[in-house]
């Protein structure tokens, strides 16, 4: 599995079901330092398998957003590991590699998205706050999670 990365741009996998969520929150410079991570497969009819965006705030802080896995790949395995876990692990690795001064990665997840919460927890994210409302991201009942670089 190879992850492709692109600058966050309306030209790369953006539509009403995978919007650029932070376009009204971050400055143009912050968006230019943000990255879209894509796992695709041109050998099948699905094309896009998974997508995530690393939204850059400053050299110590990045927020993971717009994480999406094609429904046909959810709960599927490749070499005894869930595809979602493989993808997230590679995205985290690429984020640390791209942003060497970064101390933490954070994210918001819907409180009722138990599979995603389990996935993030298994990758070292800790729940910091729950029952959050985040109008800028159109989230109600969200959980805020953080992964420190050395966890």
- Pairing state between β 104-110 and 139-148: antiparallel
HSE-up of residue 111 (Cα within 13 Å, Cβ side) = 12
C-alpha 111 chain-centroid distance? 16
> Which is more confident, 3 or 16?
3
pTM score, two decimals?
Answer: 0.87
> Is the pLDDT higher at 98 or at 32?
98
Reported as a single tens digit per residue, the pLDDT across 39-97 is: 887 665 557 889 899 988 888 889 999 898 989 899 998 889 999 999 999 999 999 99
% the chain with pLDDT above 90: 46
Ordered by start, the domain boundaries in the chain are 4-148
Q: What is the CATH number of domain 4-148?
A: 3.40.630.30
């Amino acid at each position: 599995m190879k992850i492709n990365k692109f600058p966050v741009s309306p030209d790369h996998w953006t539509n009403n079901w995978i919007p650029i969520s932070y376009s009204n929150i971050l400055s143009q410079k912050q968006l230019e330092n943000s990255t879209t991570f894509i796992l695709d497969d041109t050998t099948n009819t699905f094309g896009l398998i998974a997508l995530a965006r690393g939204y850059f705030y400053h050299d110590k802080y990045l927020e993971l957003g717009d994480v999406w896995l094609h429904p046909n790949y959810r709960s599927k395995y490749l070499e005894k590991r869930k595809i979602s876990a493989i993808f997230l692990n590679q995205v985290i690795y690429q984020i640390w590699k791209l942003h060497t001064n970064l101390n933490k990665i954070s994210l918001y997840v819907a409180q009722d998205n138990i599979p995603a919460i389990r996935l993030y927890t298994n990758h070292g994210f800790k729940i910091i706050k729950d029952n959050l409302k985040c109008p800028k991201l159109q989230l109600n009942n969200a959980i805020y999670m953080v992964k420190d670089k050395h966890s």
